[in-house]
């Protein structure tokens, strides 16, 4: 299936109007080129039933890039690519961020290259669709960006009119992408401000357990303080499990864990319940290997995700 590539990827300094550049520490994981195909280009978020799309036809290319840098955020990957597309004459017709996209349903409702080539963190991904009108028809591009703790991932799908003399592939040669300077250890507010999500350190569960221990939890106190200082923000508390057991059961357990954290936030730290929403991901967004006891322990966690200002 992996054949050749007709899409050039360049960074902001690129000279060609139809070129994107990825950072120098990016490596190609997947290259596919189909001479004639149709692609359901997403044009909206998951609407409760499906992902709205516009079908585009022509020569389709798909790439997946892995950016070798730890601590990247999805916005850090998306922003320069978005600006390059605009500079090249593309109009962004749809863009979304994680929960605004539809979370799990959007991610699995649009074509994504399978893991391990393309990794999508269900707590931190971004998607963009863009169109450029040409004399021979429209050119469509979609971007899906996400990350793991070790690397960033970018999927690019491009459809051009059949017979178009598309540019040839060049190596990624932009400046190396690195994570922003890390916030001080334990600075939950800084993490929420910089990346929109933060691990609630010290809030952990044994396999299958839901109840929290009756001890002071500095991370919850810090989150309540953040909410008091940012009264327009809403927060989703997201529970995660290891891979022991079935998916449905783990999703239920992880949501109950999130609900237990909210109860503690409200009862002990005065957080406003109306601005907190529980969510459960089960084992779908691991941060470590489930093949080791240490990895399973790390995956049994709770995170805070900023979901936006109050409407």
Confidence class for position 206, pLDDT limits 50, 70, 90: low
Q: Evaluate if residue 101 carries a pLDDT over 80.
A: yes
Confidence class for position 9, pLDDT limits 50, 70, 90: very low
Q: Evaluate if residue 186 carries a pLDDT over 80.
A: no
Is 6 a member of any domain? no
Distance, CA of 91 to CA of 83 (rounded, Å): 10
Q: Give the pLDDT of residue 300.
A: 87
Give CB contacts under 8 A, 24+ apart, made by 203-208. 203/261, 203/301, 203/302, 204/297, 204/300, 204/301, 205/257, 205/300, 206/300, 207/241, 207/242, 207/244, 207/296, 207/300, 208/244, 208/245, 208/253
Q: Evaluate if residue 192 carries a pLDDT over 80.
A: yes
- Among the candidates 124, 141, 160, a domain finishes at 160
Distance, CA of 208 to CA of 211 (rounded, Å): 10
Report pLDDT digits (tens) over 300-309: 889 999 988 8
- Among the candidates 116, 143, 160, a domain finishes at 160
Q: Are residues 221 and 134 in the same domain?
A: no
Q: Evaluate if residue 72 carries a pLDDT over 60.
A: yes
Report pLDDT digits (tens) over 237-290: 999 999 989 999 999 999 999 999 999 999 888 889 999 999 999 999 888 888
Distance, CA of 66 to CA of 269 (rounded, Å): 41
Quick one: average pLDDT of 70-82? 82
**CATH number of 297's domain:** 3.30.1330.60
Looking at the chain, the whole-number percentage of residues with pLDDT higher than 90 is 38
Cα angle 167-168-174, degrees, rounded to a multiple of 5: 95
Q: Are residues 34 and 151 in the same domain?
A: yes
Q: Are residues 135 and 195 in the same domain?
A: no
- Among the candidates 160, 180, 214, a domain finishes at 160
Residue with tokens 């950072």: 23
Q: Are residues 46 and 152 in the same domain?
A: yes
Q: Are residues 121 and 32 in the same domain?
A: yes
Quick one: average pLDDT of 13-19? 40
**CATH number of 61's domain:** 3.40.1000
Distance, CA of 41 to CA of 86 (rounded, Å): 18
For every residue of 201-213, DSSP letters joined together read TT----TT--PPP
Give the single-character DSSP code of 98: G
Report pLDDT digits (tens) over 213-240: 777 788 898 999 899 888 888 999 999 9
* Least confident interval from 13-22, 76-85, 217-226: 13-22
Is 51 a member of any domain? yes
Average per-residue pLDDT for the chain: 82
Is 15 a member of any domain? no
Q: Evaluate if residue 172 carries a pLDDT over 60.
A: no
Q: Evaluate if residue 155 carries a pLDDT over 90.
A: yes
Query: How far out from the chain centre does Cα 201 lie?
Result: 21
Residue with tokens 């500095």: 218
Number of domains in the chain: 2
Is 63 a member of any domain? yes
Q: Are residues 203 and 145 in the same domain?
A: no
Looking at the chain, the whole-number percentage of residues with pLDDT higher than 70 is 84
Is 10 a member of any domain? no
Is 209 a member of any domain? yes
Confidence class for position 311, pLDDT limits 50, 70, 90: low
Q: Are residues 30 and 113 in the same domain?
A: yes
* Least confident interval from 141-145, 161-165, 177-181: 177-181
Q: Are residues 215 and 109 in the same domain?
A: no
Q: Are residues 68 and 154 in the same domain?
A: yes
Q: Give the pLDDT of residue 209.
A: 66
Beta bridge partners of 280: 239
Is 108 a member of any domain? yes
Q: How far is CA 230 from CA 124, 201, 233, in A?
A: 21, 21, 6
Q: Give the pLDDT of residue 2.
A: 31
Distance, CA of 33 to CA of 28 (rounded, Å): 14
Q: Are residues 85 and 200 in the same domain?
A: no
CB atoms within 10 A of CB 86: 12
Enclosing domain of residue 302:
188-309
* Least confident interval from 35-44, 170-179, 181-190, 218-227: 170-179
Q: Evaluate if residue 142 carries a pLDDT over 80.
A: yes
Higher pLDDT among residues 101 and 288, named by residue: 101
Q: Are residues 135 and 208 in the same domain?
A: no
Q: Are residues 221 and 286 in the same domain?
A: yes
Q: Give the pLDDT of residue 108.
A: 93
Is 172 a member of any domain? no
């Amino acid at each position: 299936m992996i054949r050749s590539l007709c899409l050039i990827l360049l960074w902001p300094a690129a000279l060609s109007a139809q070129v994107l550049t990825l950072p120098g520490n990016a490596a190609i994981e997947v290259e596919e080129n189909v001479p004639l195909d149709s692609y359901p280009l997403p044009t909206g978020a998951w609407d409760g039933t499906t992902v709205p799309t516009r079908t585009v036809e022509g020569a389709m290319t798909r790439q997946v890039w892995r950016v070798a840098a730890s601590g990247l955020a999805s916005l850090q990957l998306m922003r320069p690519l978005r600006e390059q597309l605009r500079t090249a004459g593309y109009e962004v017709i749809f863009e979304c961020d994680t929960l605004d996209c539809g979370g799990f349903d959007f991610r699995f409702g649009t074509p994504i290259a399978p893991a391990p080539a393309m990794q999508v963190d269900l707590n931190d991904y971004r998607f963009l669709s863009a169109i450029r009108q040409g004399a021979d028809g429209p050119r469509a591009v979609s971007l899906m960006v996400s990350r793991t703790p070790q690397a960033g991932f970018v999927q690019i799908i491009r459809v051009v009119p059949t017979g178009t003399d598309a540019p040839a592939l060049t190596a990624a040669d932009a400046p190396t992408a690195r994570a922003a300077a890390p916030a001080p250890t334990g600075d939950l507010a800084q993490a929420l401000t910089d990346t929109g999500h933060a691990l609630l350190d010290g809030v952990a569960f044994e396999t299958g357990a839901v109840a929290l221990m009756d001890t002071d939890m500095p991370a919850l106190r810090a989150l309540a303080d953040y909410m008091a200082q940012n009264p327009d923000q809403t927060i989703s508390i997201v529970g995660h499990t290891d891979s022991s057991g079935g998916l449905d059961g783990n999703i239920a357990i992880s949501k109950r864990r999130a609900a237990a954290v909210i109860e503690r936030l409200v009862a002990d730290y005065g957080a406003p319940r109306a601005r907190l929403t529980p969510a459960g991901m089960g084992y779908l967004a691991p941060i470590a290997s489930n093949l080791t006891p240490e990895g399973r322990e790390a995956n049994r966690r709770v995170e805070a995700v900023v979901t936006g200002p109050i409407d």
